[in-house]
Structure 1
Amino acid sequence: MTTPLRIVIIDDHSIFRSGLRADLDDTVDVVGEAADVPSAVAMIAETKPDVVLLDVHLPGADGEFGSGGEAVLREALPLAPDTRYLALSVSDAAEDVVRVIRAGARGYITKGASGAEVSAGVRAVAAGDAVFSPRLAGFVLDAFGAVTGEIAARPDELDRLSAREQEVMRLIARGYSYKEVAADLFISVKTVETHVSAVLRKLQLSSRHELTAWASARRLL
């Protein structure tokens, strides 16, 4: 049996922490909780978890980093360099997303996500992937596209994909779920899965995360 990932939940609402803890699956093990910046930093330094679920807005920041989440990242990253951070917030404001990612978080999901989705996000971040709720990925790609460098898409690359496959590719690369793509394009989830498999095969990519990087570098989003 795989050892559960050790996580810490940082949020200033105890009811939310309790509810989230109950909803997470058995692939994660909550080893600590904290409600403000100082206690969060102390908890992370003590437990050195695999992943921290970090609320963006927390009390106890020193004023330089107004959101609180950024203050935790600034202070805790040097104390537990192997720990990864997944922002979990009610806010889907572009500035909140970009600021916390710039500070060092590996992903950002909103509190509307289910326990299963949060657990999956924890596993993905622990494995080194970036994780974003649908439509939030665009904020990050817009903010960081200039630094990642642009590559013009060769005509033959896009010619490999049908018009429908290109539509699916763009939505998946932006962080939409299969269900949301299906609803947006008025097709079945099974059809979306088929198109995604074809896109990955034709572009010689192995995951949707590689697809996002590929599309972002070519400014296809």
Structure 2
Amino acid sequence: MTEPENTIKVVLVDDHALFRSGVRAELDRAVPDVSVVGEAGSVDEAVAAIRHLRPDVVLLDVHMPDGGGAEVLRQLRPELPDVVFLALSVSDAAEDVIAVIRAGARGYVTKTISGRELADAVRRVHGGDPVFSPRLAGFVLDVFSQKPGAAPPGDPELDLLTRRERDVLRLLARGYAYKEIAGELFISVKTVETHVSSVLRKTQLSNRYELSRWASDRRLV
């Protein structure tokens, strides 16, 4: 059946089929002007589907087994500049947001969003507005304030930390206990303690409260 002329055509990219089904049901049932015309569960499937269907908006997962949203954008943005990409992810980590925005996504919302809020986000990015979940606004504004394609400003202290140390620090600053951090990152409590000790040593700070402030100042939280 041919879509009405004013319907916003959407391709949904996520590696969890159950999640895709839920989003499709929400949009198809409650939102007459937004229609999911295709789905994909991997980078390769996404690239093929988007090339074939030429949607107005792509709802794009950030992490997938064979790559992620940034890779889909890298392959398609130069080729399909009129297709709008909106990241839809469980992650609210600054590096994930920055990566897909720099790759060309027009917005980034988390999976806690409701169906109607998501439909509204689709309409807004289709209309040319950038859209972000409220808690992401701070570091997103920082990204937009820089020249397109520029790297984030360097931070010598932050650069001393490994990726895993940053992961531990982010959760610590959000108030997670060591046991909760261990469960979240699939590591032992002893390993968490080792990472925290290393971060304290590298930053020359004394306790988790100082670390939380330090992480917040660098928008890691």
- Give the TM-score, by structure 2 length: 0.62
**Per-residue deviation at 1:2?**
6.2
Residue of structure 2 in register with 1:17 after alignment: 20
Taking the TM superposition and a 5 Å limit, the aligned residue runs for 1:140-219 are 140-147=140-147
- How many equivalent residue pairs? 142
Greater radius of gyration (CA): 2
Residue of structure 2 in register with 1:127 after alignment: 127
The answer to whether structure 1 residue 40 and structure 2 residue 84 are counterparts is no
Matched position secondary structure for 2:62:
coil
**Per-residue deviation at 1:58?**
1.3
Matched position secondary structure for 1:135:
helix
Matched position secondary structure for 1:70:
helix
**Per-residue deviation at 1:60?**
1.8
- Give the TM-score, by structure 1 length: 0.62
Provide the rounded CA distance (Å) in 2 between the counterparts of 1:11 and 1:146. 29
Amino acid at match of 1:103: A
Taking the TM superposition and a 5 Å limit, the aligned residue runs for 1:27-66 are 27-61=33-67
Provide the rounded CA distance (Å) in 2 between the counterparts of 1:146 and 1:34. 32
Matched position secondary structure for 2:145:
helix
**Per-residue deviation at 1:76?**
1.5
The answer to whether structure 1 residue 6 and structure 2 residue 15 are counterparts is no
Runs of 4+ in structure 1 over 6 Å off: none
**Per-residue deviation at 1:52?**
0.1
Provide the rounded CA distance (Å) in 2 between the counterparts of 1:106 and 1:121. 10
The answer to whether structure 1 residue 26 and structure 2 residue 9 are counterparts is no
**Per-residue deviation at 1:147?**
3.4
Provide the rounded CA distance (Å) in 1 between the counterparts of 2:103 and 2:14. 18
Structure 1 residue runs without a partner (length 5+)? 62-67, 149-221
Provide the rounded CA distance (Å) in 1 between the counterparts of 2:112 and 2:105. 19
Residue of structure 2 in register with 1:78 after alignment: 78
Structure 2 residue runs without a partner (length 5+)? 149-221
